[in-house]
Amino acid sequence: MTTQSTVRQEQLEEFAQAVELQNVATQECSASRHSDENPSRVNISLESGVLPLPDGINYRFSIKCDLASDSNDSVANLTASVIAKFSLQPGVDPDPTVLSAFGNTIGIMASYPYLRQIIHDMAARVGLQGLTLGLLKQGSETPIAVSMALPTPPSASN
């Protein structure tokens, strides 16, 4: 999707006044654990897409977290996708760059708490209680921080 810098702030604000969030629905969630080690590193990717509709816009936001150990072995993979459905006032026909900029700013900020909760739940289901995605920081080189307050796995000597 296009960045906000190609859209004037007034265009984005005007469009934001013409839409309303109707629903955020989980489209996909999965978790797989490959090792009983606790991860020490997390690689996060966040993707988005937009589907304009006659009476609204659907945005799809997907997050993937690949967790690895100190030795770079895969520990777990967590994925989640949501569809954020926005209604659109009649007569509004937004430019594709405005749609994209809205998705990259307001749309993702509205949807990210849902993605974060799904990842947190999926991590707990595979024994990684305490994995928490931080706030989404737009414009940062590392837009998502991760907290891993994970329990210590039992050692073979116990």
Residues of the chain with pLDDT > 90: what percent? 65
- Nearest residue to 62 (alpha-carbon basis) of 142, 119, 101, 105: 119
Residues of the chain with pLDDT > 70: what percent? 89
User: 102-154 pLDDT, tens per residue?
Assistant: 999 999 999 999 999 999 999 999 999 888 898 888 777 677 888 877 666 55
Q: Identify the DSSP state of 6.
A: G
Predicted local distance difference test score (pLDDT) of residue 1:
45
Average pLDDT over residues 33-52: 93
Predicted local distance difference test score (pLDDT) of residue 141:
67
Q: Are 144 and 136 in contact (CB under 8 A)?
A: yes
CB atoms within 10 A of CB 43: 11
Residues 47-61: b if buried by 16+ CB within 10 A, e if exposed: ebebeeeeeebbbbb
Q: What DSSP string runs through 15-84?
A: HHHTEEEEEEEEEEEEEEE--SSPPSEEEEEEEEEEEEETTEEEEEEEEEEEEE-TT--EEEEEEEEEEE
Predicted local distance difference test score (pLDDT) of residue 6:
64
For tokens 């760059």, name the residue: 97
Q: Spell out the CATH class of 4-146.
A: alpha beta
Mean pLDDT over each residue of the chain, to the nearest integer:
88
> Cα(115)–Cα(80) distance, rounded to whole angstroms?
6
Average pLDDT over residues 94-104: 92
C-alpha distance from residue 142 to each of 44, 46, 93, 150, 153 (Å): 10, 12, 34, 21, 28
Predicted local distance difference test score (pLDDT) of residue 146:
83
Q: Which SS3 state, helix, strand or coil, does residue 111 take?
A: helix
Domain ranges of the chain: 4-146
